Structure 1
Amino acid sequence: MPKKTATKPSDETSATKAARTRERILDAAAHVLSRKGFAGTRLSDVAVQAELQAPAIYYYFSSREDLIEEVMWAGLARMHQHLQAALDALPAELDPMDRLMAAVDEHLRYQLSISDYATAAIRNSGQLPEKIRSRQLVEENTYGDIWRDLVDDVRRAGQLRDDLDPRTARMLVLGALSWTAEWWNPLRGSLDELVRTAQSLVRHGLAPVPQGEGGGTAQAAGQKARTRRKSAPAA
């Protein structure tokens, strides 16, 4: 039997160093992309952030687009892993609505304070050329599946209003949470305040209104407003 060739220590060291450098480039690109966007991200800026010479980036990534594609995919993949791990750690008997509230908390905190990757992925999702967006779309759908299951569990537990379409409700909630990356400013309010407000809006927006409170559903209120507009005399 032929002997296996032992890996030289110098080879292992080189491989480890290369992996660290590649990760440093990705971290730098995520930082730049989260702040300057797809159109404004230049390899020279990434190189400065990574403390490398710009040509060195091409040793790890064939092009600017290749680097950005990797960052965008990693942003969603890491957010997916983070949220799934957080949900798996919750008590199995936890109320479905409380699980959804935990997901709101984890999404906002990871997006706004933990990961440049997540911010970059969310902020630039609509700016990418089609040829580098396909890989991200797969991960977007996978992440969306977690939220679909959360909302479906809330519905099955009787904690979702009858007048709400579950898919529409889910897309509106996730869209609103993700959009905070565009406007939230820590100088104008704490992250804790943002999380509490978001949780309150989601909980009370989805939960059934107790009988005798609120004057009926929002759907009924909207119908009344439309009826009044139609019956109002023309100016």
Structure 2
Amino acid sequence: MRQPAGRSARRSGGERKPREERWAELIEVATQVFYEKGYDGASLQDIADRLGMLKGSLYYYIQSKEDLLFDVISTVHRDGLAVVRARAEVEGSPLEKLESVIVGHVEHTCRNLVPTAVFLHELSALPIDRRKEVLGSEHAYQGVFRDLIEQAQRQGDVRADLDPRLAALSVLGSTNWVYRWFRPGGAFTPEQIGSELAEMSIRGIATEKALAARA
């Protein structure tokens, strides 16, 4: 079992590791509590009560509330990054791959509203060095979008006047916002939202030649 980033490293090597299932439950419950109360308003006692365990028992897994938030945020980022990286491996041109990545990102967001909200709301609660540790020195998540835009631009499918980093930030900014208004069981499905937002994003950055080829 992996050792979560915030977990105490002070235990002896021979001490029994916590079960993976219990750790996953802790992350799930902590995510929900941070969502309901906010990082500042939540306490380790709140989380322990929800888990049905003593507060002191949490220190078997973590050293502090900040460590727990770090692991929650890291888990959300890792899971989302795995989705967009997998979507970037589909067959097709860079522009087609970018469309797939946008659809995957939106659908994943719609199906993970609580973790997404915690990530976007509480990332700033971490110290800068820990935020950088989560995001990676090159902002790995943003980098998937940026790299595909750069590749499509080199092929003449994305407008030459656009800065790939700004374009990636624009696409992510507009698609991230879905977590604020999407409601499960509402008028729009994750698939419909993903498809339409991807179409609008691509139309905003693609060249006339690329758009004609898509048509």
Does the Cα contact within 8 Å between 2:87 and 2:97 map onto a contact in 1?
A: no
1:64 aligns with 2:72: no
CA distance 1:198–1:163, shift in 2 (3 Å): same
1:157 corresponds to: 155
* Residue pairs, 1:79-90, within 5 angstroms: 79-88=80-89, 90=90
Q: Which moved more, 1:201-210 or 1:61-70?
A: 201-210
1:176 corresponds to: 174
Residue 31 of structure 1 deviates from its aligned partner by: 2.6
Does the Cα contact within 8 Å between 2:135 and 2:141 map onto a contact in 1?
A: no
Does the Cα contact within 8 Å between 2:159 and 2:206 map onto a contact in 1?
A: yes
Does the Cα contact within 8 Å between 2:87 and 2:104 map onto a contact in 1?
A: yes
- Structure of higher CA gyration radius: 1
Aligned length: 195
2:25 corresponds to: 24
* Residue pairs, 1:1-235, within 5 angstroms: 15=17, 18-88=19-89, 90-91=90-91, 94-114=92-112, 116-130=114-128, 132-138=130-136, 141-186=139-184, 187-209=186-208
**Equivalent pairs: percent with the same residue?**
24
Residue 20 of structure 1 deviates from its aligned partner by: 2.2
TM-score normalised per structure 1: 0.71
CA distance 1:115–1:83, shift in 2 (3 Å): farther
CA RMSD of aligned residues (A): 2.7
Identify unmatched segments of 5+ residues in structure 1: 1-13, 214-235
Identify unmatched segments of 5+ residues in structure 2: 1-15
Whole-Å separation in 1 of the counterparts to 2:24 and 2:82? 18
Residue 194 of structure 1 deviates from its aligned partner by: 1.5
CA distance 1:120–1:69, shift in 2 (3 Å): same
Q: Equivalent residue of 1:133, what SS? A: helix
Residue 203 of structure 1 deviates from its aligned partner by: 1.3
Residue 181 of structure 1 deviates from its aligned partner by: 2.0
Q: Which moved more, 1:169-178 or 1:136-145?
A: 136-145
Does the Cα contact within 8 Å between 1:65 and 1:132 map onto a contact in 2?
A: no
Letter of the 2:23 counterpart: R
